[in-house]
Amino acid sequence: MKITDLKVAVIGQNPIVRVCTDAGISGYGPVESSKGYLKPHILFYKPYILGEDPTLVERTLARIQRLGSFKPWGAAVSAIEIALWDIAGQAAGLPVHKLLGGKVRDRVRIYNGAVREPMTGSSPEDYAAHTAKMLAAREGFTIVKQGIAYHSGMPANVPGFMLGELQPGGFHPNRGPLTEKGLKHIIACVAAMKEVTGDAVGLALDCGPGLTVVDSIRLARALEPYNVMWLEDMITGDYTPYVSPKLFREVTSSSSTPIHTGEQIYLRENFAELIESHAVNVVGPDPCDVGGLAELKWVAEYADLHGIQVAPHGVIDGLFGLAALVQVSAALPPNYIAFEYPIGNPAWWYDIVEGLPNPVAVDGFVTVWDAPGLGIRFDVDKASAYLKPEDAGFFD
């Protein structure tokens, strides 16, 4: 079997990679919806994989892996890797999780991820109401993650929240010291959320990046009585092209509150010091940024050897991203906590994809399916209706 083409289409708002073969088998790999601008970058890799055997995943990936980088630039390599596993599974008649070593668990725990909606305010009452909404979601989440501090509207909505000037723009532009008022506001919001969750539902907190080491330690210590699941990306993280393990270690060693990072990191080499130095308690690689499914599994296993837990990132609002996370999470070691749950957006995605259980999630878990490859497929006739004119040949 040989690779004959690499295609990319943006269906709705979701970029999808298709790897085509001369055997009539195609594999699909997801890209986060916000990264539609990567389409030309993905096609850059096409000449490097044409003619390769897609079932030799590691060998094929070795031709392009060194050409990726930290989020968002590892997304292209990651999507291609996932598509290769999809092909390999179909060719073997096996689900991807069996190619990765087989199921460790029959159900995979999830947390709210893409179900989480933006909040209009940043008061403790706003956070309590939003958390109650997450608990009422049909998926029945047993873990809820909420954004606070620099990963939220707090800097803009809470006067005097930080010492620096408010910076405009996306991708978390604010960083620096908090005021005492800002720190106390965060703690009040967490207390309000814990009043809602009680001890029956875990509360995880996405915090940055952008906090100082001092404020990170103060916050982690102040939140110890609340037993939160983790504090994520406090110093570096989302769209930060470096890791800063020594700074994270200073925070982690100063508090019993679990510290988490990793969604932006590309490749195992960039997790090595973070894990070996016990700089965090939880790592959260994203299969669509770290380099793919096998790379995520390697990181999870290495973390397990060092007593570190794994909670894969995955807010990608796409069903192929969901399928990829289900397959790899089923095969992860016992240090697995839960993955961040993607959804189909717009809702018509559920009409153009076949193979998902209905409902997908029950009581905060997804039951692992055993269909070959990723286990889901496009209904080509229905999906073709949503192709943009420039992507008209995507399914040809």
Check which CATH number belongs to the domain holding 33 and give it: 3.30.390.10
pLDDT of residue 294: 98
- Shared domain check, 55 and 144: no
pLDDT of residue 315: 74
- Our separate counts of H helices and E strands in the chain read 15, 14
d(CA 159, CA 184) in angstroms, rounded, equals 13
pLDDT of residue 310: 99
Tally the domains of the chain: 2
Amino acid at 259: I
- Shared domain check, 331 and 194: yes
Integer CA distances (angstroms), 347 to 12, 51, 152, in order: 10, 36, 25
- Shared domain check, 385 and 297: no
- Shared domain check, 168 and 22: no
Residue 286 falls in which region: left (phi positive, over 0), alpha (psi -120 to 50) or beta? beta
d(CA 81, CA 49) in angstroms, rounded, equals 11
Q: Return the CATH number at 264.
A: 3.20.20.120
Residue labelled with tokens 């990170």? 216
Question: Bridge partners of 29?
Answer: 17
pLDDT of residue 169: 86
Answer whether residue 124 is part of any domain: yes
Answer whether residue 269 is part of any domain: yes
Low-confidence residues in the chain, pLDDT < 70: none
**49-95 pLDDT, tens per residue?**
999 999 999 999 999 999 999 999 999 999 999 999 999 999 999 99
pLDDT of residue 73: 96
Question: Bridge partners of 282?
Answer: 260, 309
- Shared domain check, 157 and 21: no
HSE-up of residue 239 (Cα within 13 Å, Cβ side):
10
Answer whether residue 396 is part of any domain: no
pLDDT of residue 117: 87
- Shared domain check, 80 and 153: no
- Shared domain check, 384 and 340: no
- Shared domain check, 56 and 138: no
Residue labelled with tokens 């085509």? 20
- Shared domain check, 88 and 50: yes
pLDDT of residue 186: 98
Answer whether residue 343 is part of any domain: yes
Task: Report helix, strand or coil for 373.
Answer: strand
Integer CA distances (angstroms), 131 to 118, 189, 192, 225, 311, in order: 12, 11, 9, 19, 20
d(CA 107, CA 104) in angstroms, rounded, equals 9
Closest by CA to 160, choosing from 190, 183, 127, is: 183
Closest by CA to 277, choosing from 289, 292, 296, 259, is: 259
Answer whether residue 228 is part of any domain: yes
d(CA 276, CA 305) in angstroms, rounded, equals 9
Answer whether residue 16 is part of any domain: yes
pTM over 0.75: yes
d(CA 298, CA 279) in angstroms, rounded, equals 18
How remote is the C-alpha of 338 from its chain's centroid?
11
The torsion angles phi and psi of 127, rounded to 5 degrees, stand at -65, -40
Inter-axis angle of helices 213-222 and 245-252, nearest 10: 30
pLDDT of residue 66: 96
Q: Which residue range(s) make up the domain with 181?
A: 98-377
Answer whether residue 60 is part of any domain: yes
Say how many C-beta atoms besides its own lie within 10 A of residue 345's C-beta.
17
Answer whether residue 17 is part of any domain: yes
- Shared domain check, 250 and 157: yes
- Shared domain check, 223 and 130: yes
Say how many C-beta atoms besides its own lie within 10 A of residue 210's C-beta.
26
The torsion angles phi and psi of 301, rounded to 5 degrees, stand at -70, -40
- Shared domain check, 132 and 18: no
